[in-house]
Each structure stands twice: as structure tokens, then as C-alpha cells.
Amino acid sequence: MQNGVRRLVLSLPVAASFCAGQYLLLTVGDRAFPFSIANAPGGKHLELHIKATEDSPDSALIEQFLNDHPPSVTIEFPLGQCFLSQVPSQPVIFIAAATGITQIKSLFDWLTPQPGAQKVHVYWGVVTPEDLYLDDYFKAAADHAKITYTPVVSTDHQTWAGRVGLVGEAVQQDIKNLNDHLIFVSGSPGMVYGTLDHFTATGFDPENMRSDVFDYAPRTA
């Protein structure tokens, strides 16, 4: 466990068949809970990042299930339409809020080694600096000329000298030609739609944005 995030690796008998960015359902008792797959396709494992949520009965149920160290689990995958299976012809912006970085990591790990991949920008918005549990991972990756990584903390902290504010606003401050990019956003419905609205207010075409939220929490008006 790192910074309160549990890393769960599920071993499979054969190579996992899924696309980067997809998720699975983990069965706990008589219920199934969605978790993004954190690794890129190609291996015989699935990596999940699970963070406990205070005062959440669902989270408590999942934590107890995992603390019992079950010898096997029941899962359903691959699920989700927000994924990459081909290299985009344009630069890509990945925007994550909190543990939404899990889905982004899978997309990032698959895309960045691909021949023909254009520039990749990763923006990660969190509440406190301590929430940046993959900070070192993306900092190391950003040594590559085609990769940028920008963590954004939503409120001022004495120990934080980096960007402060909303992650979507940081993207707009840095990148003026958003329509030249394919954008993936991973976070809560409120965060995703708030980011979309900020972008469209300045001329962004929604067709250039991808998110699972658009499928499981579509707007009704």
C-alpha cells in the first residue's frame, strides 16, 4: 500500500485480452464493483489500484474482502468504451482526478512506446500532495521529450510548490489549441462534465473528448 492506495495484482492463466483504458467488475459477495485496469495489455496479470473511502459502506465491504486475502476472485472484463487500440494521429492529453489516474496509467503505458505516437500530456488533479502516489512514476517518464507531466493540487499546501487550482483550468492555461488534441478525462461525472463545459466555452469540440462518464452517466438534458 502506498499513500493509502492498495495495489492489487490478479494473476491470470493466459494473457489478458483487453484494450488500454478498459475496466473490470470485481465480485464481492453478491455485488460487483468496477475498477479501472492500471496496466497496459500484453501480460498475464491485471493490476488494480484501490483506495479506501471514509464513511462508505461499499468501500468498507471491499476492504474487508481484500483483507481476508481470498485465494481467488471472480471478475468480468473487458468493459468500457473509453480505450485506445490504435495510435491517434494527433497529440493526446490525459486528464485525471484522484484515482482516475489508474485508467490514465493504462492508456499512457500502452501509448507512449508505440511507433508514431505524438506528444503526450498528463495532467493529474488531487486534493493534497500526498494523493500523488504515482508522482515519481510520471516524473521519470516525463524525462522523454514527447511527454509532459503536470500535477495540480486543488488547494494551497505549505509543502507544495507546484501548480494549484482545478486541473482543467491548468490544461487551458498551458495548451491553447485544444482542438488539435485527443483528450481523455478520468474522474467523477461532476469533474468530467465541468472540464468539458470549461473547454467548450472557449470553442472546444466535444467530439475530441473521451470518458467512460459519457456512457455510464450521460446527461439527460
pLDDT digits (tens, 9 = 90+) for 71-101: 999 999 999 999 999 999 999 999 999 999 9
Percent of the chain residues topping a pLDDT of 70: 99
Q: Residue 104's pLDDT is what?
A: 98
Q: Where are the domains of the chain?
A: 5-79, 92-216
Q: Residue 2's pLDDT is what?
A: 75
CATH 3.40.50.300 corresponds to the domain 92-216: no
Question: Looking at residues 92-121, what average pLDDT do you find?
Answer: 97
Instruction: Tell which residue, 65, 88, 77, 6, has the closest CA to residue 37.
Output: 77
Q: What is the dihedral of CA 127, 143, 39, 1, to 10 degrees?
A: -50
Contacts for 150 with CB less than 8 Å, ≥ 6 apart: 121, 122, 123, 124, 163, 170, 174
Q: Position of cell 465480485?
A: 27
Q: Residue 33's pLDDT is what?
A: 97
Q: Residue 199's pLDDT is what?
A: 97
Percent of the chain residues topping a pLDDT of 90: 92
pLDDT over 70 at 22, yes or no: yes
The architecture of the domain spanning 5-79 is Beta Barrel (2.40)
Q: Rounded to two decimals, what is the model's pTM?
A: 0.96
Q: Residue 197's pLDDT is what?
A: 97
Question: Looking at residues 181-209, what average pLDDT do you find?
Answer: 97
pLDDT over 70 at 221, yes or no: no
